[in-house]
Chains A and B, each alone.
Chain A
Amino acid sequence: MNVPVMYIVGLAAIVFTIGVVGVLIRRNAIVAFMSVELMLNASNLALIAFARSLPDGSGHVIVFFVIAVAAAEVAVGLALIVDIFKLRHSIDVDEMSSLKG
């Protein structure tokens, strides 16, 4: 595919912003988590586009690390959500306010 790199980075910017808005407006912790995955995915897309346009294979390696870190983050995050659900029978982020001063 031979389209200007700006088009793909623009698409990545739009998807990233959708992820940011999703984290801000959703109160279901799992959907907020999925929005974080959208943001990671958008940054990966921008990295791959830059790797293609330079061309430099280092972008692919960084995307590989991002995917590995995302997998680790999801494992721990979902374990935390399961723990919170067992404790409070809800994963609504508005109700997780016991640390509020």
Chain B
Amino acid sequence: MTGDLVIFFLLAVIAIATAVSVVLSRNAVYSAAFLVLNLTTVALFYILLYASFIAMIQLAVYVGAIVVLFLFVIMLLGADRGESAQTLLWQRPLAIGLGVVLVGVLFYVFVIAGPFPATAASELPAGFGGPEAVGTLLLSDYVLPMEVTSVLLLAAMVGAIVLTRAERREKR
């Protein structure tokens, strides 16, 4: 139990520090690098919570595809420069104040008043969180959502192609 707590707090500090760095980094490339660290730390949490398949999906799709897409766009646009001068001076303190309120409310709802059991179930079904368990659920109880997701991915692909093609035709 104490060893688990040490690992939890170590990973939690890393996750929070990298998340803050994503937001505060001046250079967008550094933000993307810290996002990789944050996503990898969360993938470690998934492994420790017996969600091995989701952890692999996280590494392959989030770290491998989404962040690389971010990096491509940053490099393509040369958008790794600083930002313009702030126009709304009250916006930053207001955002941070509201963030503190939000984290207080979330803590109250989920941690203090939450109806969740303090200890997790000690016995897990065999193969919990593995590819077989997730795949069986995906193709039995969640067939319709899965098909809708595949249509959504197709729509996103078509949308991305159309958005970039129309621009090229306009230039000619």
Contacts and interface: CB of A to CB of B under 8 A. Distances in A.
A30 B159 contact: no
Contact of A67 (B57, B83, B129): B57
A96 interface: no
Contacts of A78: 69-70, 73, 160
Given A4-B119, A25-B95, A50-B116, A60 B137 contact: yes
Interface size bracket, A side: 35 or more
B120 A82 contact: no
A25 B132 CA distance: 42
Contacts of B38: 15, 38, 41
B54 A14 contact: no
A74 B5 CA distance: 35
Interface string B122-142: 101100110001100110011
Given A11-B15, A34-B31, A73-B156, A60 B53 contact: yes
Contacts, number: 252
Contacts of B12: 7, 11
Contact of A28 (B79, B149, B160): B79
A20 B96 CA distance: 9
Interface of B: 1, 4-5, 7-8, 12, 15-16, 19-20, 22-23, 25, 28, 31-32, 35, 38-39, 42, 45-46, 48-51, 53-54, 57-58, 61-62, 65-66, 69-70, 73-74, 76-77, 79, 83-84, 86-87, 91-92, 95-96, 98-99, 102-103, 106-107, 110-111, 114, 116-122, 124-125, 128-129, 133-134, 137-138, 141-142, 145-146, 149, 152-153, 155-157, 159-160, 163-164, 167
Interface of A: 1-11, 13-22, 24-28, 30-31, 33-35, 37-38, 41, 44-46, 48-55, 57-58, 60-61, 63-65, 67-76, 78-83, 85-86, 91-92, 94-95
